[in-house]
Amino acid sequence: MPVVDADAHVDETEETWQYIDEPLKRYTPITITQQMGSDAGAQPKGYNRFWFSDGRFLVRRVRDDVRTRTTLETRELLDVPARMRHLDELGIDLQVCYPTSFLMRWNPSDQVEHALRKSYNRWMGSKWAQSDNRMRWVALLPMGDIDEAIRELHIVKENGACGIMQKGIEWGYRSAADPYFFPLYQEAADLNIPICFHTGTSDPALSDAQALNLSFHNMMAPVIDAFLSLYTAGVPTLFPKLRVGFIEAMASWLPLALAELRAREERSSWLFPELGVVDDLVKESRFYVACQTVEDLPYLIRTCGEDNLVAGTDYTHADQSAEIETLSIIRRMGDENIITKEQARKILEDNPKAFYGL
């Protein structure tokens, strides 16, 4: 069974945008860098380089090789074989990649946003083709048009995509349980592709150029809301083959969310008459949650089960979710009886393989 890095990233580069359709080429992002110096208002290192498109700035981060333990060539997929060699060094057989700049929304225009997302998908498909199927990826769909999103889903599946990235609050401030998304959920289930709710915001008024926008409310809370909304609306029952993941928001909120659902059932049955909270809710719902090594994994396993936790390195990033040795640490926790070896194996191998349909 392969060891799977369930949440890695790539850093977009100029090559990412070469697939933008010709009529929309004028929206191709360009790089603008603020010169470092003593001038008032200078951004800190790592926040002084930006993508610029159609009057909008998003951070194009400057990474530290030592801190991230990665290189420019592996982060930006300039050298895919080098990234594969690095996976070998880390003991990783398969890596599932998410974008970086698309944790925010690029443009309020659906047409422009769709063009950028499709270009990213074509770029990732070309890089997957160089990885001997070891670097799988999660696609960005044109969510403003569900019919177009379904057509795009078939294309990306043929080019290495193993998931659909969605925000907890998505297009038009819709919740994850909005029936607008149901045709996509059905198609994803039929194609054996999971929906992956990753931290981030789809609010076009927000940019990560202002670091305060990277708040719990904007980035992590929508993931938790997706969990609650999907179960309350009965989505796991409506789509019995659909798998759903909650990625990079930690897993320590799970006991809170489960308690909230029990409280809704016991105290608000007049509002949620068919909620039906079951003992093994996470497993029965085919929900998968990405945990981190800073969390109390023995407690999470006792309260939420061992069959639906996954883990990732957050490869390329250098924030609170990043730990390049995540999978080795979890393996060591199994060796040291902090969790059982079987539990460690499930988090590293069985669970992500089942979730992503690898």
Region 11-31: mean pLDDT is 95
Least Cα distance to 204 among 113, 96, 337 occurs for: 113
% of the chain residues with pLDDT over 70: 95
pLDDT digit string (tens) for 169-193?
Answer: 998 889 999 999 999 999 999 999 9
By DSSP bridging, strand 49-53 and strand 195-198 are unpaired
The pTM of the full predicted model, rounded to 2 decimals, is: 0.94
Rounded to whole angstroms, what are the CA distances from 207 to 61, 98, 329? 13, 18, 34
- pLDDT tens for 79-123 read 999 999 999 999 999 999 999 999 999 999 999 999 999 999 999
User: What are 51-90's pLDDT values in tens digits?
Assistant: 999 999 999 988 989 999 999 999 999 999 999 999 999 9
Token representation of residue 332: 């060591």
| pLDDT of amino acid 289 | 97
The CATH number of domain 4-26+65-356, selected from 3.40.1710.10, 3.40.50.20, 3.30.60.50, 3.20.20.140? 3.20.20.140
Higher pLDDT residue, 273 or 123?
A: 123
| Burial label, 317 (beta-carbon count in 10 A; 0-12, 13-18, 19+) | buried
